[in-house]
Amino acid sequence: MSEKKNNHRPREGGDDEMLSRKELSGWLKVCMGAIDRYCRKEGLPFIKVGRRVLFRRGDVEKWLGGRSNGGAAVVA
């Protein structure tokens, strides 16, 4: 019997991997409200498919890289 391949989802961890809000909040270790705020106010890139909001891992990594302060301490 042949084994079925799951071709509808790219390999885990790849740049094209699509993440749900819940998956992204777990990956970034922030609440889902923070994910919503990042989308609304801070330009976190997302894709809307019907009512679902999805995030491409590579886009999120680029967005995070653009927010880096090079390890410098932030003084408020």
Asked if the model's pLDDT at residue 2 lies above 80, the reply is no
Q: What is the CATH number of the domain that holds 42?
A: 3.90.105
Residue 43 lies in a domain: yes
The arrangement of strands across the sheet holding 47-49 comes to: 18-20, 52-56, 47-49
Using the Cα atoms of residue 14, residue 49, residue 30 and residue 35 in order, give the sign of their dihedral. Answer: positive
Residue 48 lies in a domain: yes
Domain span at 42: 18-66
pLDDT in tens, 13-54: 677 899 999 999 999 999 999 999 999 999 999 999 999 999
Residue 54 lies in a domain: yes
Residue 10 lies in a domain: no
Residue 56 lies in a domain: yes
Using DSSP, state whether 36 is helix, strand or coil.
Answer: helix
Residue 7 lies in a domain: no
- Cα separations in angstroms, 55 against 17, 22, 43, 68, 71: 8, 10, 12, 19, 25
Residue 58 lies in a domain: yes
Domain count, the chain: 1
Predicted pLDDT of residue 74: 60
